[in-house]
């Protein structure tokens, strides 16, 4: 089963309240979304591309990162599997070029791009799917192109288990289930996925959960 089949209904339901959650309105997710605006800005700042550059965004959601990309003067091609999320993004950004699709299913006929970005979405893929997605994505990049993601990553398996336990102990049952059900990677495995796709990745922690990942093609790749 594809990840889109697993998580679409969840995001169709979450679309209505999503912007409240990122603003701190969901008590269990306050730490996950802590510094949300800065997290999105870090992704955009890491690109430093000329105006008019083409950026492909995966898991657009309600269009919050997209708005910042537009403000930088980039052309954005959005990919989003959830119909309800696409509706929200289009309501906010009527001119957005937005396609139904996901990391492993990009509509045909789209141009190559200068950057690929995503926030809070890469963890929907299993480790093996992440490997495949990165191998596919590098083929879409123009020379000198970049990939910039921000998402939950754990330093190691011990930290991941401790954070799951902590969520349970705090009575954060939804978060605890989410941390177990989805495919939050550990750092070494994620670095291997980027490396195997011919990318050099730099990682920086932005809050207790979320890391910025900025990857560029190796020169010999």
Ligand X SMILES: C[S@@+](CC[C@H](N)C(=O)[O-])C[C@H]1O[C@@H](n2cnc3c(N)ncnc32)[C@H](O)[C@@H]1O
The token pair at 189 is 């495995």
- Residue 95 neighbours by CB under 8 Å, 6+ apart: none
Choose between 103 and 154: whose C-beta lies nearer to ligand X: 103
Q: What Rg value do the Cα atoms of the chain yield, rounded?
A: 16
Q: If you count DSSP H runs as helices and E runs as strands, how many of each does the chain have, helices first?
A: 9, 7
Choose between 131 and 200: whose C-beta lies nearer to ligand X: 131
120 binds ligand X (CB under 6 A): yes
Minimum gap (Å) between residue 80 Cβ and ligand X: 6
Number of residues located near ligand X, criterion CB under 6 A: 21
- Residue 193 neighbours by CB under 8 Å, 6+ apart: 127, 130, 131, 134, 185
152 binds ligand X (CB under 6 A): no
134 binds ligand X (CB under 6 A): no
Applying CB under 6 A, among 11, 149, 172, 184 the residue interacting with ligand X is 11
Minimum gap (Å) between residue 132 Cβ and ligand X: 11
Q: Are 157 and 142 in contact (CB under 8 A)?
A: no
Q: Are 103 and 125 in contact (CB under 8 A)?
A: yes
Q: Distance between CA atoms of 85 and 128, rounded to whole angstroms? A: 26
Applying CB under 6 A, among 81, 163, 201, 209 the residue interacting with ligand X is 81
Q: Distance between CA atoms of 148 and 92, rounded to whole angstroms? A: 23
Minimum gap (Å) between residue 187 Cβ and ligand X: 20
Q: Distance between CA atoms of 120 and 210, rounded to whole angstroms? A: 8
Choose between 80 and 191: whose C-beta lies nearer to ligand X: 80
Residues 35-74 close enough to bind ligand X by CB under 6 A: 58-59, 61, 64-65
Minimum gap (Å) between residue 51 Cβ and ligand X: 22
Minimum gap (Å) between residue 39 Cβ and ligand X: 8
What is the crossing angle of helices 36-47 and 64-71, to 10°?
A: 40
Choose between 81 and 145: whose C-beta lies nearer to ligand X: 81
Among residues 79, 77, 126, 78, the alpha carbon closest in space to that of 105 is found at 79
Stretch that binds ligand X, among 67-75, 81-89, 197-205, 206-214 (CB under 6 A): 81-89
179 binds ligand X (CB under 6 A): no
Residues that bind ligand X in the complex, under the rule CB under 6 A? 3-4, 7, 11, 22, 58-59, 61, 64-65, 80-82, 85, 102-103, 119-121, 124-125
């Amino acid at each position: 089963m594809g990840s889109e089949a697993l998580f679409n209904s969840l995001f169709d339901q979450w679309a209505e309240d999503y912007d409240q959650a990122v603003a701190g309105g969901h008590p269990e997710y306050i730490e996950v979304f802590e510094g949300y605006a800065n997290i999105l800005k870090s992704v955009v700042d890491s690109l430093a591309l000329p105006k008019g550059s083409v950026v492909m965004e995966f898991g657009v959601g309600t269009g919050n990162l997209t708005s910042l990309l537009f403000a930088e003067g980039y052309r954005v091609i959005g990919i989003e599997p959830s119909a309800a999320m696409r509706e929200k993004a289009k309501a906010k950004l009527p001119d957005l070029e937005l396609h139904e699709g996901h990391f492993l299913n990009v509509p045909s006929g789209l141009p190559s791009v200068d950057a690929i970005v995503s926030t809070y979405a890469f963890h929907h893929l299993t480790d093996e799917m992440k490997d495949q997605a990165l191998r596919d994505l590098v083929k879409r990049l123009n020379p000198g192109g970049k990939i910039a993601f921000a998402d939950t990553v754990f330093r190691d398996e011990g930290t991941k288990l401790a954070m799951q336990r902590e969520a349970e102990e705090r009575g954060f049952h939804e978060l605890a289930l989410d941390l177990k059900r989805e495919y939050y990677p550990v750092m070494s495995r994620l670095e291997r996925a980027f490396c195997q796709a011919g990318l050099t990745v730099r990682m920086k922690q932005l809050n207790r959960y979320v890391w910025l990942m900025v990857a560029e093609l190796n020169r010999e790749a």
